[in-house]
């Protein structure tokens, strides 16, 4: 029963549509009607600019962190990583936004931050290195997930290996169209780095 409660809370946390809230309240814009149509940070950056993109990305990270950290603060005997998965599911399929959300990169990272900040730092560093070299946010997201898998294998944190592997599968699956555009050289590149 305890797991059910925390899973529900995590899902609802993940379902908070940061991009929709920031877009509508701060800019009078529904970002689902612009750019890629996604509710995540990347589309917010493209549609509303750096300030809005940063706010949404940080909020999406914190949703995952809050879900993973909740069992620690409540003294619950549940596995934080398992609970964190449902925040990621909530972000991808949010009940508060018609079950059409973002690609869960930031929220997945937030879950990892909540359980292992060092691995999160490795992911973040790899993300920005690949972003600097390629200028593709989507490619950077996918490769940082693979780097995370390798990093957890090196430190022998096999539970985290399993979870990051699941997150990476989610992320790659959600970036199917981006992969095609990268191959066809039609994927948009960032211009600020």
Q: What band does 75 get if pLDDT is binned at 50, 70 and 90?
A: confident
- Supply the pTM of this predicted model: 0.93
193 occurs within a structural domain: no
39 occurs within a structural domain: yes
189 occurs within a structural domain: no
Calpha distance 134→169 (Å, rounded): 21
190 occurs within a structural domain: no
The boundaries of the domain holding residue 96 are 2-184
11 occurs within a structural domain: yes
166 occurs within a structural domain: yes
Q: What band does 73 get if pLDDT is binned at 50, 70 and 90?
A: confident
191 occurs within a structural domain: no
pLDDT, tens digit, 9 for 90 and up, residues 119-154: 999 999 999 999 999 999 999 999 999 999 999 999
Q: What band does 74 get if pLDDT is binned at 50, 70 and 90?
A: confident
CA-closest candidate to residue 6, choices 49, 91, 67 = 67
pLDDT, tens digit, 9 for 90 and up, residues 77-131: 889 999 999 999 999 999 999 999 999 999 999 999 999 999 999 999 999 999 9
**Count of structural domains, the chain:** 1
């Amino acid at each position: 029963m305890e797991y059910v409660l925390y899973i529900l809370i995590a899902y609802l946390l993940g379902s908070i549509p940061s991009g929709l809230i920031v877009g509508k309240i701060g800019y009078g814009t529904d970002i689902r009607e612009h750019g890629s149509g996604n509710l995540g940070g990347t589309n917010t950056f493209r549609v509303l600019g750096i300030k809005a993109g940063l706010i949404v990305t940080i909020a999406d990270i914190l949703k995952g962190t809050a879900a993973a950290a909740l069992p620690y603060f409540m003294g619950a005997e549940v596995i934080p990583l398992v609970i964190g998965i449902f925040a990621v599911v909530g972000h991808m399929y949010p009940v508060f936004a018609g079950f059409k959300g973002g690609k869960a990169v930031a929220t997945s990272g937030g879950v990892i931050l909540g359980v292992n900040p060092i691995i999160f730092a490795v992911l973040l560093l790899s993300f920005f290195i690949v972003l600097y070299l390629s200028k593709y946010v989507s490619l950077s997201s996918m490769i940082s997930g693979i780097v995370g898998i390798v990093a957890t294998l090196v430190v022998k944190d096999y539970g985290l290996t399993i979870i990051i592997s699941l997150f990476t599968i989610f992320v790659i699956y959600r970036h199917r169209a981006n992969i095609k555009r990268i191959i066809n050289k039609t994927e948009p590149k960032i211009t600020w780095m």
